[in-house]
Structure 1
Amino acid sequence: MKILNSDELKIAETTLYAHLPKSIKVYGFVFAMNKGKPHTLEVLVDTWPAFTTIIVQPDPNNNRAKDFRKKVTLYSTDEEVLRRMLTVENAVDWSTYFLLGGCDVRHSPMLKEIAASWGINMKGYTLVHLMTLTDPNHLPELITSDLEPRMSVLNESHADVVNNTWKFGGDDKGYRNILNLIRHYPTFCITDENNQPVSWVLLYDYCAMGILYTQPEHRGKGYAKALITTMAKRLHSQGYPVYCFIEESNLLSYKLFQSLGFTEDPSYRAAWYEFSC
């Protein structure tokens, strides 16, 4: 097992690119790290330079890591190697709570078995659609002349309202997470006559579009479509992957992204899992 350094992360990004879309969440983290985004992560592989399994998790030696929720992401083409890293090699600290996100559901039985052996509770958090867009050039032009002056970016003063309306936010760690995204990643919003955001979209630290929200009194005006198309075009122009995860219960969002040309690989399903003592 090896922790990758900055030069090795650039090689890993190229390797992961060849395994898209199934590797996309790990790829997104590594892509952001290689763009110089601040982070509190470490990246582990089973062997180098040819690896079958790669794990992204908080760096235990980084003091800032505790300011954020403990999240782990992985991609593996060899489940037995993954099993060995999670058990024999102790790649993950099972003694504390963590959230494993964007994980291929085919690993679920093995993860459940390992958790049981450690006396850890494993809870299926949510199943998601992985939606990708390979060619944003076909997106419609949705920014009208009256809407264009109201298109802006979020600033730090908006972190509270975003955090308080975010399904997974509402607390101090959520606030710090939102603040970090606003400071370091692309965002877009539509403002009202008082220059306050009424609709917005952000980019997670693994480069997925998300936290899309429109205040209830401003819905039905096409704001979400305008934000998605603007963000997708900007990301594509800057070399980012263009994708999102949508909870399987969120049919409205699924249809929205699908209507804009986002597609999914029907052979792949991802999930979020919680592990706690």
Structure 2
Amino acid sequence: MKVLQKDEVMAAENVLLKDLPKSFEVYGFLSAYNRNKPSKRQFIVDTWPDFNVIICRPDPELALNWTKKITFYCKDEQILKKMLLEKDLFDWSDPFILGGYDHSHTPMLKEVSSSRQVSYKPTTTAHLLYLPDRSHLITPAFDSELESRISSLIPSNVDLVNQTWKFGGNEQGYNRIKFQVSNLPSCCITDDQGQPVSWILVYEYLAIGMLYTLPEHRQKGYAKAVVHTMAQRLLDQGYPVFCYIEVENTVSYKLFKNLGFIEHPTYRAQWIEFNM
């Protein structure tokens, strides 16, 4: 087992690049780290340089409440299981979320939680949608007046985003969104007073999300406009373009598919809460 150093993180990113889209979650964390985005993460592999498992965990010395998420990329589930059972990779007595992994690993994780004698609760299952390249992106029709109102979120907008985010509305959500707005790309459409009425952000692992339009401004094509603009900006800057859509969110699923996003046929991302 090895904690990767900075130059090794770059090499690991190049390895995971070859297995997109299944490696997107950890690849996004690696890519953000290698772009010098503020990071409170460590990357652990079973062996180096040829690894079968890479685990992304909060840095024990830097982690904040909202960063207590763990994820992994795995080519050999038995090696991962052995690491989780035999190594103290993180504090199993603390509440944490394990997320963004392929749901096929869920039975194994349930076994591990039983052996570790910790509570276990699956929460979210999501489609993984992504743009392989610019040629897949479909441009919706929107006029120059709307285009003139497209900008980026600023710190004074954080409270509004936090109050409308389904997992927000608290200090933890506020701090997380403040980090995203301050350090990562965002896109919004503003009203006549310059206040955002529709927006989308980028998570710390570079997936786009938190798409929202205020109810009184819906059915105007704003969501399509911000998703398309964000995708263009990310492509221009060399970022990966991907997102997770909860399986029950058929409206967002259709929107992203209509913009040219494609889906891995079998991959379903899963989130689990432990000790929560």
In 2, the alpha carbon distance for the partners of 1:198 and 1:16 equals 37
Among 126, 129, 146, which residue is 2:127 paired with?
129
User: What is the aligned partner in structure 2 of residue 109 from structure 1?
Assistant: 107
Structure 2 vs 1, CA of residues 158 and 117 (structure 1 numbering), >3 Å: closer, same or farther? Answer: same
User: What is the aligned partner in structure 1 of residue 72 from structure 2?
Assistant: 74
CA deviations on 1:98-157 (whole Å, 9 max, x unpaired) are: 111111111111100110112111111111000011133442154421112211110000
CA deviations on 1:151-203 (whole Å, 9 max, x unpaired) are: 11100000000011001111111101000000010001000111000000000
In 2, the alpha carbon distance for the partners of 1:226 and 1:5 equals 39
Contact 2:201 2:209 in 1 (8 A): yes
In 2, the alpha carbon distance for the partners of 1:69 and 1:9 equals 19
Post-superposition shift, 1:68?
A: 2.2
User: What is the aligned partner in structure 1 of residue 244 from structure 2?
Assistant: 245
In 2, the alpha carbon distance for the partners of 1:90 and 1:23 equals 24
Equivalent residue of 1:130, what SS? strand
Post-superposition shift, 1:41?
A: 0.8
User: What is the aligned partner in structure 1 of residue 200 from structure 2?
Assistant: 201
TM-score normalised according to structure 2 size:
0.97
Amino acid of the structure 2 residue aligned with 1:207: L
In 2, the alpha carbon distance for the partners of 1:180 and 1:55 equals 23
User: What is the aligned partner in structure 1 of residue 58 from structure 2?
Assistant: 58
Give structure 2 stretches of 5+ with no counterpart. Answer: none
User: What is the aligned partner in structure 2 of residue 160 from structure 1?
Assistant: 159
User: What is the aligned partner in structure 1 of residue 37 from structure 2?
Assistant: 37
Amino acid of the structure 2 residue aligned with 1:2: K
Q: 1:259-274 counterparts in 2 under 5 A?
A: 259-274=258-273
Post-superposition shift, 1:27?
A: 0.1
TM-score normalised according to structure 1 size:
0.97
Deviates more, 1:95-104 or 1:213-222: 95-104
RMSD: 1.1
How many equivalent residue pairs? 275
Equivalent residue of 1:12, what SS? helix
Amino acid of the structure 2 residue aligned with 1:131: L
In 2, the alpha carbon distance for the partners of 1:254 and 1:107 equals 24
Post-superposition shift, 1:11?
A: 0.1
Contact 1:103 1:272 in 2 (8 A): yes
Post-superposition shift, 1:245?
A: 0.2
User: What is the aligned partner in structure 1 of residue 225 from structure 2?
Assistant: 226
Contact 2:130 2:243 in 1 (8 A): yes
Equivalent residue of 1:269, what SS? strand
Deviates more, 1:86-95 or 1:197-206: 86-95
User: What is the aligned partner in structure 2 of residue 9 from structure 1?
Assistant: 9
Contact 1:142 1:225 in 2 (8 A): no
In 2, the alpha carbon distance for the partners of 1:166 and 1:39 equals 23
Equivalent residue of 1:120, what SS? coil
Amino acid of the structure 2 residue aligned with 1:51: F
Give structure 1 stretches of 5+ with no counterpart. Answer: none
Contact 2:85 2:115 in 1 (8 A): no
CA deviations on 1:76-109 (whole Å, 9 max, x unpaired) are: 0101110111111222321111111111111111
Runs of 4+ more than 4 Å apart:
none
- Alignment identity in percent? 51
Q: 1:117-196 counterparts in 2 under 5 A?
A: 117-137=115-135, 138-140=137-139, 142-196=141-195
In 2, the alpha carbon distance for the partners of 1:226 and 1:177 equals 24
Amino acid of the structure 2 residue aligned with 1:37: K
Equivalent residue of 1:205, what SS? coil
Amino acid of the structure 2 residue aligned with 1:123: K
